[in-house]
Amino acid sequence: MPVLTVRDGVRLHVREEGSGPTLLILPGWGVSTWWFRHQFAALSPRFRVVAYDPRGQGESETARGQRVARLAADLDEVIRHIGADQVHLVAWSGGGSTVLQYIELYGADRLGTLTLVGAGPKLMKADDWEHGFTDLAGAAGWVELIRTDFEAAARAVLPQFFAEPLSDDDLEVTVAEMCKCHPPGMAAASWDFLTQDHRDVLPSVPVPTLVVTGSADTAVPAGNAPYLAAAIPDARLEVIEGTAHCPFLERPDAFNEVVEKFLAGR
């Protein structure tokens, strides 16, 4: 199993398949490369598909450092590790926060394109922001549930990820995969994700950007996507009907086609 040891000694699980232009997939909070199995299967004949489990998730290890700035540093190390001059980066959900922090801290010289999926620039509601996941009181309760009963948190959030309920078997497999996470670290990461505001970074995103949302997304409300597409200088919006927060799982063929067409045009 390929492993990258980053500067603070944490070992990250990295998966790679195929050859061609490098397509790097950045999972969001609570998930692993396993969630992107359809993209590995369909896109690796034409791309070098790389993904990694963020620290504290999937097969990666950690008991520390689960905050957005450290996750952005991990992304920088992964990009350097895989050795591509430029990557086409696909970031899902909280991964969108990570990549916006990455661009702010490290620039975008190594990014050829950016695809943001189910992402938002600010995940907590505010007087000037209605598209958040929750308010301050809800965030505190959510983080405490993650810390004390991660399985209950996973079962609570998963219905928001899919437009159609998972079968009982698929639900149990998915919960088991999520429960590989490190609960105290996931609580810390969740709080940090929820308290970030990257709206001021969006005008400085310098690469062609595809914004993808499911028409029924409520985990990161779909109103975030039009905002991202309007605020990023060279961005386009794609809405995948009949999906929620995970269009790459619910309608993988449609999702993969949208991504491939975007990259072909670039």
Q: Which pLDDT tens digit goes with each residue over 38-71?
A: 999 999 999 999 999 999 999 999 778 899 999 9
User: Average pLDDT, whole number, for the chain?
Assistant: 96
The whole-number average pLDDT for the span 245-265 is 97
Please tell me the predicted confidence (pLDDT) of residue 89: 98
What is the domain partition of the chain in residue ranges?
3-264
Under the banding of pLDDT at 50, 70 and 90, the label for residue 108 is very high
Closest of 27, 261, 130 to residue 240, by C-alpha: 261
Closest of 218, 239, 95, 80 to residue 161, by C-alpha: 218
Instruction: Kindly tell me if the per-residue pLDDT of 158 is higher than 80.
Output: yes
Please tell me the predicted confidence (pLDDT) of residue 62: 79
Q: What percent of the chain lies above the pLDDT cut of 70?
A: 99
Q: For the sheet with 87-92, list strands across it.
A: 3-5, 11-17, 48-52, 22-26, 87-92, 111-117, 209-214, 235-240
Please tell me the predicted confidence (pLDDT) of residue 64: 85
The whole-number average pLDDT for the span 120-130 is 95
Please tell me the predicted confidence (pLDDT) of residue 1: 56
The whole-number average pLDDT for the span 87-104 is 97
Please tell me the predicted confidence (pLDDT) of residue 222: 82
The whole-number average pLDDT for the span 130-150 is 95
CATH code for the part of the protein at 3-264: 3.40.50.1820
Q: What percent of the chain lies above the pLDDT cut of 90?
A: 94
d(CA 229, CA 219): 18
238 forms beta bridges with 212
Q: Which pLDDT tens digit goes with each residue over 160-219?
A: 999 999 999 999 999 999 999 999 999 999 999 999 999 999 999 999 999 999 999 999
* Residue 60, C-beta contacts closer than 8 angstroms, at least 6 positions apart: 10, 11, 12, 13, 52, 53, 54
Backbone angles phi, psi at 242, to 5 degrees: 75, 20
Q: Give the residue, 84 or 105, on which the prediction is more confident.
A: 105
